[in-house]
Chain A
Amino acid sequence: MPIRADNDIIVRSPHNPLINIHDIPGRCSDIWNAGVVRVGAEHLLLLTVESLEGRSGIYKAHSYNGTHFTVEDRPLMSPDDSPSPYESLSIRDPRITFLDDCYYVVYLAESEMGLRLAMARTRDFQSVERLGCVTQPDVKNGALFPAKFDGSYALLERPNAANSIWMSFSADLAFWGTPRVVMAPRGGYWDSDRIGAAAPPIAIEEGWLLLYYGEKITSAGPLVRLGAAVLDRQEPWKVLHRSNIPILSPREKYERVGDIPNVIFSCGALLSEDGELRVYYGASDSCICMGAVPVEEVVAICKNGRAF
């Protein structure tokens, strides 16, 4: 008999965890969050690998079925190959957006000067062009919309000072402005203390599907879960629907046990032509997992997510 999915909307892959520390060709400390993209028949993951000395870089992994991945033995991007002093400690949490025939990677750059969002661009995932930092510190959880609005690029971001999801706009990817609040934490809910974008927004019939993570701080530390919202297609700072309940919560052992336990943190999801949403997520900051569900179920939960 299959394992019950419990109270989660997303159904976990039986192959979870898809990638754990033993699948990394070299020694490392942790595997963190991964962005995902499908290029032809191939699934590409950009995953964050933290070295034993504590610095992280971005590695590429590929797969033909979306569940069995081979991780390359050298990082695609790392602090060591960066000219920027703002990437001197770590780069991590890549989120991939396809726009204007390019793959844009928004990632977190870490130095002793703080945490900033940086951007890079690639066409082939072989050579990567760094575009530099696009925010001031301390800002995390950046995701580029796969569309422009009135000719402007739009970036989701999570300023640490506000613990909420914001967005900014730019005509040239260099100068950003007209910030807006998109969503804030909700007192009393599972996302009461901090929220941020998970996967880059996905175009759906109703608008944009935004997967986001929500944190509830407990006496033992944060509980990080995955939620969903639907944003307006033309004015994406307007939230049309927001799930009252999480769509995935830490329950399995690999989500409960790890360096940062009780964490489900997605940086990428794929929507197939037949409407299946595949969410790739880091669990406990120690392995990469996947879960899937028909996207209409997620939208239904956003529209009418009763808790009881």
Chain B
Amino acid sequence: MPPRTGRDLLHRWERNPILTLDDVPFRCNTVFNCTPVKADGRYIMLVRVEGLQGYSVFALARSGDGLHFEVDRKPVMTPALEGPWALWEENGIEDPRITRIDGVYYVMYTACSRYGHYIALARTEDFQHYERMGVVSGPGNKDGVLFPEKINGLYARLDRPFGNGVGSIWVSYSPDLIHWGRSERAFPPRARYWDSYRIGASCPPIRTDRGWLEIYHGVKMTSAGPIYRAGAAMLDLDNPAKLLGRSLIPLLSPREEYERIGDVGNVVFASGAVVEDDGEVKLYYGAADTSICVATGPLELFIESCFAGEEAGDGARAK
């Protein structure tokens, strides 16, 4: 009898994890949070690789089917060594998220220095060369994701500053991707729920008929440490600070050994999704900060989960 995978809404690929450090052609500690892009039928993924020395870099992985990836022989983006960026990134670069706007791929990522971590932005057209554009937040901010189109004439992003010490998801706007403002809180953690301790944006928002679908991560703190799960929220298309719906139950929770055991156990950290032509979503996630996995479900399920009641959790279960 096959082992039960629990009661998660999403379906894990049977051959998870799809990337581990054994798949990385250079020596490293772990490979985890990643950001996929599908273009011309092929998949490209920037992956965060933590080196043995302790800080992270980005490597490029390629695939024909979105499930079997090969990692390039060398990292494509490493912390800057010269100029002001050398200070901004002195402790590494982490958690890239790619958004395509008008044919340009923008990489929002976390830069780490002695002053903390903040959101930085780079752009690329070929995934080989990355032009750093600017540090776009103050320190103490991360999980920045860019919307794939302008909203009311302005670029928009979600991020995760700490307000009153609580990590919530906020929206900010920019005329030029460099200067940001009009920040508003979109939604906070929920007491009693799986996302009670803090939350953060996971995937760049996906436009749907019902609004912006935001797949986010929610953290519950326990006596043994945090549990990271993936959930979904729906934001208003014209005013993404307005929350329209939010999944009461997680889409995916750590249950498998590769999600339970690793450098940071009990972590499912979604960071990118590909919506296939048939409406199936491939959700990529870092598992236990140690490997990369994929889970799937129909886009409708993600959308419905934002509006379903608590009792609907079972009924909305993926096939």
Q: Quick check: A113 and B141 within 8 Å, CB to CB?
A: no
A123-140: which have CB < 8 Å to B? 132-139
Q: In the bound complex, do residue B134 and residue A178 qualify as a contact, i.e. CB atoms below 8 Å apart? A: yes
Cβ of B17 within 8 Å of any chain A Cβ, yes or no, is no
Task: Classify the interface of chain A: helix, strand, loop or mixed.
Answer: strand
Tell whether, in the assembled complex, residue B179 and residue A177 are in contact, meaning their CB atoms are under 8 Å apart: yes
Shortest Cβ distance from B166 into chain A, in angstroms?
7
B267 on the A face (CB < 8 A): no
**Is B136 an interface position by the 8 A CB rule?**
yes
The docked-state distance in angstroms from the alpha carbon of A178 to that of B144 is 16
Q: Give the Cβ gap from A114 to chain B, nearest Cβ, in Å.
A: 2
Q: B3 to nearest A CB, angstroms?
A: 42
Are the CB atoms of A114 and B179 closer together than 8 Å?
Answer: no
- Per the 8 Å Cβ criterion, residues 35-72 of B in contact with A are none
Q: Tell which of B115, B136, B180, B183 touches A181, judged by Cβ atoms closer than 8 Å.
A: B115
Residue of B nearest to A181 (CB): B115
Q: A274 CB to closest chain B CB, in angstroms?
A: 39
The answer to whether the Cβ of B174 comes within 8 Å of any Cβ in the partner chain is yes
CA distance A192 to B180 in the complex (A): 31
A interface residues, how many (CB within 8 angstroms): 32
Most chain B CB within a 10 A radius of its CB, from A159, A164, A178? A159
Q: How far is the CB of A242 from chain B (nearest CB, A)?
A: 17
B185 A113 Cβ-Cβ under 8 A? yes
> Of B115, B136, B168, which is within 8 A of A164 by CB?
B115
Knowing A134-B181, A184-B115, say if A177 contacts B136 (CB, 8 Å).
Answer: yes
B138 near A135 with CB under 8 A, answer yes
Q: Nearest Cβ distance between residue A117 and chain B, in whole angstroms?
A: 11
Q: How far is the CB of A238 from chain B (nearest CB, A)?
A: 13
Q: Smallest CB-CB separation from B154: which chain A residue?
A: A175
Residues on the B chain within 8 Å of A177, using CB: 134, 136, 174, 178-180
For window 180-218 of A, CB contacts with B under 8 Å fall at 181, 184
What chain A residues lie within 8 Å of B174 (beta carbons)?
175, 177
A133, A157, A166, A179: the one within 8 Å of B183 (CB): A133
Q: For residue B175, which residues in chain A have a CB less than 8 angstroms away from its CB?
A: 175
Q: Which residues of A contact B185 (CB under 8 A)?
A: 113
Please measure, in the bound complex, the distance between the C-alpha atom of A160 and the C-alpha atom of B165, giving whole angstroms: 9
Nearest CB in chain B to that of A114: its residue: B163
| A299 proximal to B (CB < 8 A) | no
B139 contacts A by Cβ under 8 Å? yes
Does B172 belong to the interface (CB within 8 Å)?
A: yes
Q: Is the CB of B140 within 8 A of A138?
A: yes
With CB as the reference atom, state the residue of chain A lying closest to B178: A177
| Chain B residues with CB under 8 A of A279 | none
Whether B139 contacts A159 by the Cβ 8 Å rule is: yes
The interface residues of chain B lying within 8 Å CB-to-CB of A179 are: 118, 135, 137-138
A41 located at the interface, meaning its Cβ lies under 8 Å from any Cβ of chain B in the complex: no
Interface residues as binary, B156-169 with A (CB distance below 8 Å gives 1, 0 otherwise):
00010111111010
A137, A164, A169: the one contacting B162 at CB < 8 Å is: A137
Known: A112-B164, A175-B175. A159 touches B182 (CB 8 A): no
Q: Is B284 an interface residue (CB 8 A)?
A: no
A55 to chain B, nearest CB (A): 15
Q: Is A90 engaged at the interface, CB distance under 8 Å to the other chain?
A: no
Closest A residue, CB atoms, query B163 = A114
Q: Which of A114, A164, A174, A181 contacts B164 (CB 8 A)?
A: A114
Give the chain A neighbours of B140 by CB distance below 8 A. Answer: 138, 159-162
A269 to B1, CA, bound (A): 77
B170 at interface by CB-CB < 8 Å: yes
A162-B140, A175-B173, A177-B179 are contacts. A138–B164 as well, Cβ < 8 Å?
Answer: yes
In the A-B complex, the 7 residue pairs with the smallest Cβ-Cβ separation, listed nearest first, are A114-B163, A161-B140, A137-B163, A177-B179, A175-B179, A175-B181, A162-B139
22 pairs from A and B in contact (CB 8 Å cutoff): A113-B163, A113-B168, A113-B188, A115-B164, A116-B183, A133-B183, A134-B181, A136-B141, A136-B170, A137-B162, A157-B138, A160-B162, A161-B138, A161-B140, A175-B176, A175-B181, A176-B180, A176-B181, A177-B179, A178-B178, A179-B138, A181-B87
* Chain B residues close to A by CB (< 8 Å): 87, 115-116, 118, 134-141, 159, 161-166, 168, 170, 172-176, 178-183, 185, 188
A114-B163, A175-B176 provided; 16 other pairs, C-beta below 8 A? A113-B168, A114-B162, A115-B163, A134-B181, A136-B163, A137-B163, A161-B138, A175-B180, A176-B181, A177-B134, A177-B136, A177-B178, A178-B134, A178-B178, A179-B135, A181-B87
